[in-house]
Amino acid sequence: MSREELAVVLDYGAQYTQLIARRIREKNVYCEILPHTTDAEKLKALSPGAIILSGGPQSVYAEGAPGIDPKIFELGVPVLGICYGMQLMVKELGGEVRKGDSGEYGKSVINIEQDKHSDELVPIFEGLPQKQNVWMSHRDIVESVPSGFRVAALTESSYKAAIYHPEKNFYGIQFHLEVKHTEYGEDVLDRFLFNVANFSGSWTMDSYVESMVSKIYKEAGDKKAVCGISGGVDSSVAALLVHQALGDNLTCIFVNHGLLRKNEPEEVLQTLRDEYNMKVIYVDAVDRFLNKLKGVVDPEKKRKIIGEEFIRVFEEEANKIGDIDFLVQGTIYTDVIESGTDSASVIKSHHNVGGLPEKMELSLLEPLTSLFKDEVRKVAKELKMPDELAWRHPFPGPGLAIRVLGEVNEEKLEILREADYILIDEVRKADLYNDIWQLFAVLPGVKSVGVKGDERSYEHTVAIRAVNSQDGMTADWYRFPYEVLEKISHRIVNEVQGINRVVYDITSKPPGTIEWE
């Protein structure tokens, strides 16, 4: 990949920052997100073809508001400032930003201004309608533009919605082009990337694999690493990437924490050892985890305990191998954002991010933190991973512990495992598994009265959760054909000892989350 094929997003803390990077990668331009503190020197060394300043929650005049190294504007690289990024550019280059009379949140309409200085259209709006629906989220507005800048679009209330400097190729837009509600967002991005920044659009996931493997090689070189394997696509892809870079210096550690699905430990071991020829150590830590979880009902506590215990097991195994420097994890972007970044608030501490103990003996090697789930699957395809593994539904690190609500014990786990197995089996038989993004059973800890034979029963209720989603950030419940639900329910109550009732969860995310804990 030539260096000019790199677009850099400087992160000012918006929830949408990763979405910008993803949209750019969808256009076959490689994109990396760097902290807003990155200076011109470092950027120059990377030699990007474009710099994008993301949105952010602050006002540019607020105390401690994130700034920018002014020398970045002297690099001769096209810059696109989005929302906060535009306001920062305006302030930094001598224009004026002020608090608006009222904020603008949600749908808005902009009018593209004809360039008064030439017959040409503003390059990022070329060929697009004069009136466009966009999505805004801001309070501050640009009062006056810095010298050399022109106004490219106005809102209906005559605020500056887009500005640009034609000679320097600096663009500022007040709206969010990365969200789908902005009608021509993708087209504006296209024009910025290909007409203004002149990217070739030749980057692919294949080049991602290549550059990630060489990056890992550079960072970890001849050092030794261990990888925590769960059998899911994320940790497997992370392991395969690191394996390509480090070869036998990578040892995979598969911890059976007793919170896995039926037959999972056996399947995982077989796949890794036989299909990939990887070095895999199997650790039976079932009793250890279940003892630690005794009496614990708080979901966040469960996550922290499991996260901490995982790391401890890894450390112990790594110490046995000796001279290990890195711990490889399959953390993906959704895990990072939902555990809270500097600006986003904590939703759940996923075991492999927020749940990490503060003191760790190993450094983390996480090659997938900038990717969304569907992007990881594209990498999996490049790595020739069998579809069955690449398309396996996501499974949370804390496993069944967050699907047994309240205290976890072996008896409840066993009931849940059996119900979950039947559920997946029936869905596969109905050929619906690949239509669903995530599917599982939950044991809510509710017992109810039923009748089996002529006898009254008082047994567990099991809930079924099936959702569709693109990246786990939002989700909708799956519309099952009734006859499939009927088969699932019939088999579960007949075959699983301890369950006499099956319910179906019809909640979307938000307001629900996908998991129940």
- Least distance between ligand XMP and beta carbon 437 (Å): 8
Neighbouring residues of 206: CB distance < 8 A, sequence distance ≥ 6? 382
394 binds ligand XMP (CB under 6 A): yes
115 binds ligand XMP (CB under 6 A): no
Nearer to ligand XMP, 336 or 415 (CB): 336
Alpha carbons 162 and 153: distance in angstroms, whole number: 5
Q: Residues 472, 478, 492, 502: which binds ligand XMP (CB under 6 A)?
A: 472
Q: Residues 159, 397, 416, 442: which binds ligand XMP (CB under 6 A)?
A: 397
Residue 490 Cα distances to 30, 445, 460, 500, angstroms: 50, 20, 15, 10
Interacting span for ligand XMP (CB under 6 A) from 126-134, 139-147, 192-200, 350-358: 350-358
Helical spans, DSSP H, in 322-431: 333-338, 373-382, 387-390, 410-429
The radius of gyration computed from the CA coordinates of the chain, to the nearest angstrom, equals 26
Interacting span for ligand XMP (CB under 6 A) from 4-12, 277-285, 288-296, 391-399: 391-399
Within 424-463, the residues that bind ligand XMP by CB under 6 A are: 438
352 binds ligand XMP (CB under 6 A): yes
228 binds ligand XMP (CB under 6 A): no
514 binds ligand XMP (CB under 6 A): yes
- Least distance between ligand XMP and beta carbon 354 (Å): 9
Interacting span for ligand XMP (CB under 6 A) from 14-22, 27-35, 236-244, 509-517: 509-517
The Cα angle at residue 35 between residues 328 and 224, in degrees rounded to 5: 20
Q: Which of 36, 138, 176, 351 is catalytic?
A: 176
Q: Residues 66, 185, 367, 396: which binds ligand XMP (CB under 6 A)?
A: 396
Q: Which of 178, 382, 426, 459 is catalytic?
A: 178
Nearest one of 9, 341, 14 to 175, comparing CA atoms: 14
Output helix, strand, coil percentages for the chain, rounded to the nearest 5.
Answer: 35, 25, 40
Binding residue count for ligand XMP, defined by CB under 6 A: 17
Interacting span for ligand XMP (CB under 6 A) from 5-13, 150-158, 344-352, 484-492: 344-352
Contact indicator for 334, 471 with CB cutoff of 8 Å: yes
Question: Residue 60 burial by CB count (10 A; 0-12/13-18/19+): exposed, middle or buried?
Answer: buried
- Least distance between ligand XMP and beta carbon 435 (Å): 16
Nearer to ligand XMP, 77 or 402 (CB): 402
Contact indicator for 32, 53 with CB cutoff of 8 Å: no
Alpha carbons 229 and 236: distance in angstroms, whole number: 7
Kindly state the tokens that stand for 18. Answer: 């990763």
Interacting span for ligand XMP (CB under 6 A) from 107-115, 288-296, 343-351, 486-494: 343-351
Residue 404 DSSP class: B
**DSSP string of 200-232, one letter each residue:** -----HHHHHHHHHHHHHHHHTT-EEEEEE-SS
Nearer to ligand XMP, 163 or 227 (CB): 227
Contact indicator for 150, 96 with CB cutoff of 8 Å: no
338 binds ligand XMP (CB under 6 A): yes
302 binds ligand XMP (CB under 6 A): no
351 binds ligand XMP (CB under 6 A): yes
The residues with which 32 forms a beta bridge, in sequence order, are: 8
Nearer to ligand XMP, 243 or 351 (CB): 351
85 binds ligand XMP (CB under 6 A): no
Reply yes or no on whether 178 is catalytic.
Answer: yes
Neighbouring residues of 506: CB distance < 8 A, sequence distance ≥ 6? 477
- Least distance between ligand XMP and beta carbon 302 (Å): 9
Q: Residues 223, 273, 381, 509: which binds ligand XMP (CB under 6 A)?
A: 509
Q: Residues 350, 378, 392, 412: which binds ligand XMP (CB under 6 A)?
A: 350
Reply yes or no on whether 83 is catalytic.
Answer: yes
Nearer to ligand XMP, 5 or 335 (CB): 335
Neighbouring residues of 330: CB distance < 8 A, sequence distance ≥ 6? 228, 230, 232, 233, 234, 235, 236, 237, 238, 239, 352, 366, 368
Q: Which of 5, 31, 36, 83 is catalytic?
A: 83
Amino acid (1-letter code) at residue 340: G
Interacting span for ligand XMP (CB under 6 A) from 139-147, 374-382, 396-404, 421-429: 396-404
513 binds ligand XMP (CB under 6 A): yes
- Least distance between ligand XMP and beta carbon 369 (Å): 13
328 binds ligand XMP (CB under 6 A): no
Nearer to ligand XMP, 487 or 509 (CB): 509
Amino acid (1-letter code) at residue 312: R
Kindly state the tokens that stand for 108. Answer: 């808005």
CA dihedral 415, 507, 341, 393 (to 10 degrees): 50
Amino acid (1-letter code) at residue 131: K
Q: How many CB atoms lie within 10 A of CB 486?
A: 13
Interacting span for ligand XMP (CB under 6 A) from 125-133, 164-172, 393-401, 416-424: 393-401
Which positions are catalytic?
A: 83, 176, 178
Residues engaged in binding ligand XMP (CB under 6 A): 303, 335, 338, 348, 350-352, 394, 396-398, 438, 472, 509, 513-515
